[in-house]
Amino acid sequence: MPGSRRKDDRQAGYTLVELLVAFAVTAMMAALVFGGMRFGARAWDRSSSVVQVSETMFATQARLRQLIGSAYPFRTTRGVREITYPMVGYDDAVLFSAPLSPDSAEDQLSRIAIWHDTANAALTLAWAEDRNDVHDPRDGDGYQTLRLLNDVSRVAIDYLTSDDNGVSTRWVSRWNRQSGLPHAVRISVEFRSGAGRSWPVLIAVPRLNGIADCEFDPVSRRCRS
């Protein structure tokens, strides 16, 4: 019947209101989906950045622990002059001699410095082959340098020492003994506000004992008997 056909036609189609509602719902779903994707991408970028920073911190601490662990105070003779290469420690810098690559038998000792470069807000490493003097590597003359950490606001270095009878120990902010090494070296680092990083306090233990001091043989890389 004609009336029935008109009724069926109206039921088979969509009204304008229904189409608008459908478009609105689809738009909201798309916004939620793509917004979630963008949030996920940002979260992934942040996670990747955190992992990278953590890996850098771990590698830096491992390197410093290896260098300080290999510290080697010694005496040697240049002509008629005897030279002592001690560890010299300040509250924001430490200088010592050690092999850069202790696993290599051919490697010679280098003079090494780790310090807070306040001009560049960095924790910096410097090194040069030991020669006829022990001038401060922070002067930069003849030394290679590497910035280990940037955005550094403060560095505190302490040295674990013991009393004469070896019973009690304490941390001190200076190390100036011409012979021997501290029981441990502690390095604390603070970053500038907003840097988004933190430094777990590093404690490195020299492998030589606290009274190590000898005349160094550059051929065998051992103490002369």
Q: What is the pLDDT of residues 170-209, one digit of tens each?
A: 999 999 876 678 989 999 999 998 877 889 999 999 887 6
Query: Looking at the chain, how many residues does it have?
Result: 225
Query: Per the domain annotation, does 189 fall within a domain?
Result: yes
Half-sphere exposure of 208 (CA within 13 A, CB side): 23
CA distance 201 to 44: 28
What is the per-residue pLDDT for 55? 77
Residue 53 has pLDDT above 90, yes or no: no
pLDDT at position 47, please?
Answer: 47
Torsion, Cα of 106, 108, 113, 119 (10° steps): -80
Give phi and psi for 41, each to the nearest 5: -65, -40
Residue 53 lies in a domain: no
Domain enclosing residue 211, as ranges: 60-223
Query: What's the structural domain count of the chain?
Result: 1
The tokens for 162 are 């013991």
**Does residue 201 form part of some domain?**
yes
44 domain residue, yes or no: no
> Pick from 74, 105, 56: which is nearest to 217 by CA?
74
Report if residue 46 sits inside a domain: no
Residue 51 lies in a domain: no
Whether 207 is in a domain gets the answer yes
| Average per-residue pLDDT for the chain | 75
- Is residue 67, in this structure, part of any structural domain at all? yes
What's the rounded mean pLDDT across residues 16-29?
A: 67
